[in-house]
Chains A and B, each alone.
Chain A
Amino acid sequence: MLGYIIRRLGSTVLVMGIVGVFVFLLLHLSPGDPAAIVAGDNATPDQIAQIRERLGLDDPLPVQFIRWSGGVLQGDLGISIFSNEPVAKLIGERLEPTISLSLTTIVFAVVIAVSFGVLAAWRAGTLIDRALMGFSVLGFSVPVFVVGYLLIYLFSINLRWLPVQGYAPIADGIGPWIQRLILPTIALGLAYVALIARITRTSMLEVLSEDYIRTAKAKGVATRPMLLKHALKNAGVPIVTVIGIGIALLIGGVVITETVFNIPGVGRLVVDAIAKRDYPIIQGVILLFSGVYVLVNLLVDLSYSFLDPRIRY
Chain B
Amino acid sequence: MRTTRRTFVHGSMATAAATTALTSLSWRQGMAQESGGTLRAVMQGDLRAFDPIWTTANITAYHGAMIYDTLFALDADMMPQPQMVDTWTVSDDQLTYEFTLRDGLEFSDGTPVTSKDVVASIRRWAVRDGAGQHMMLRVKDIVARDDKTFAIELNEPYGLVIDIMAKTSTPLLYIMREQEAMTDPMEQVTEYIGSGPFIFNREETRQGAQYVYDKNPNYVPRSEPASGMAGGKVVKVDRVIFENIDDSQTAMAALQAGEIDFMELPPIDLLSVLEADPNIAIDVLNQTGNYGLMRLNFLYPPFDNVKARQAMLYLIDQEEFMQATFGDPRYYRKCPSNFACGTPMENDANTEWFGAAPDPERAKQLFEEAGYDGRPVTVLHATNIDFMNNAAQIVAQRLRDIGVNAELATSDWGGVVTRRAVQDPPEDGGWNIFITWAGAASANNPIALAAHAANGTKGWFGWPTDEKHEALRDEWAAAQGLEAQQEIARQIQENAWNFVPHVWLGQWVSPVAYRTNLEGILKIPEIIPFWNIEKT
Which B residues lie within 8 Å of A153 (CB)? 253
Contacts of A134 in B (CB 8 A): none
Interchain CA distance A163-B20 in the complex, whole Å: 11
Is B249 at the interface (CB under 8 A from chain A)?
yes
Check if A84 sits within 8 Å of B49, measured CB to CB: yes
Q: Report how far A167 CA is from B210 CA in the complex, Å.
A: 11
Given contacts A162-B20, A179-B26, contact A42 B256 (CB under 8 A): no
> Does B419 count as interface, using CB distance less than 8 angstroms?
yes
Most buried by A among B186, B208, B417: B417
Q: Count chain B CB atoms within 10 A of each CB in A32, A167, A224 and give the residue with the most.
A: A32
Please, how many angstroms separate the alpha-carbon atoms of A46 and B186 in the complex? 11
Determine if A164 and B253 form an interchain contact, defined as CB atoms under 8 angstroms apart. yes
Instruction: Indicate whether A40 sits within 8 Å of B55 (C-beta atoms), given known contacts A262-B246, A262-B250.
Output: yes
Convert B442-466 into 0s and 1s, putting 1 for each residue whose CB lies closer than 8 angstroms to a CB of A.
0000000110000001111000000
Q: In the complex, which residues of chain B have a beta carbon less than 8 angstroms from the beta carbon of A83?
A: 48-50, 207
Candidates A44, A54, A84, A149; contact of B459 at CB < 8 Å: A44
A interface secondary structure, majority: helix
What 0/1 pattern do residues 66 to 91 of A give for CB contact below 8 A with B? 00000000000000001111000010
The answer to whether residues A36 and B249 also contact, given A90-B207, A179-B24 and a CB cut-off of 8 A, is no
Residue of A nearest to B127 (CB): A47
List the A residue with the shortest CB-CB distance to B277: A157
**Stretch with Cβ within 8 A of A (4 or more), from B73-81, B300-308, B332-340, B408-416:** B408-416
Check if A46 sits within 8 Å of B19, measured CB to CB: no
Residue tally, chain B, CB below 8 Å to A? 67
Among A39, A48, A163, A167, which residue has the most Cβ atoms of chain B within 10 A? Answer: A163
Nearest to B411 among chain A residues (CB) is A31
CA–CA, A128 and B184, complex, Å: 70
- Tally chain A residues at the interface, Cβ within 8 Å: 66
Contact at B57–A40, with CB atoms within 8 Å? Answer: yes
| Contact (Cβ within 8 A) B209 A167 | yes
Among candidates A43, A48, A222, A259, residue contacting B246 with C-beta atoms closer than 8 Å: A259
Q: Which residues 228-287 in A have Cβ within 8 Å of B in the complex?
A: 259-262, 264, 268-269, 271-272, 275-278
B170 contact set on A, CB distance < 8 A:
40, 42
Contact B460 A44 (CB under 8 A): yes
Q: Verify if A202 is at the interface (C-beta below 8 Å from B).
A: no
* B23: nearest chain-A partner, CB-CB: A179
Nearest Cβ distance between residue A249 and chain B, in whole angstroms? 21
Bound complex: CA A182 to CA B24 (Å): 11
Assembly CA distance A165 to B210 (angstroms): 13
B210's nearest neighbour on chain A, judged by CB, is A264
Give the residues in chain B near A277, CB-CB below 8 Å: 414
Q: How far is the CA of A90 from the CA of B250 in the complex (A)?
A: 24
Interface residues of B in 124-174 (CB under 8 A from A): 128-130, 169-170
**Besides the known contacts A40-B55, A82-B49, A175-B22, 4 further A-B residue pairs in the complex with CB atoms under 8 A apart:** A157-B256, A165-B245, A182-B20, A260-B247
For the complex of A and B, the 6 pairs showing the least CB-CB separation, nearest first, are A40-B56, A179-B23, A264-B209, A31-B415, A33-B418, A82-B48
**A–B pairs, 5, beta carbons within 8 Å:** A38-B55, A44-B130, A44-B459, A93-B206, A262-B243
Q: Name B residues whose Cβ lies closer than 8 Å to a Cβ of A.
A: 2-3, 5, 8, 19-20, 22-24, 26-28, 30, 46, 48-50, 54-57, 128-130, 169-170, 184, 186-188, 190, 206-209, 243-247, 249-251, 253-254, 256-257, 259, 384, 411-415, 417-419, 421, 423, 436, 438, 449-450, 457-460
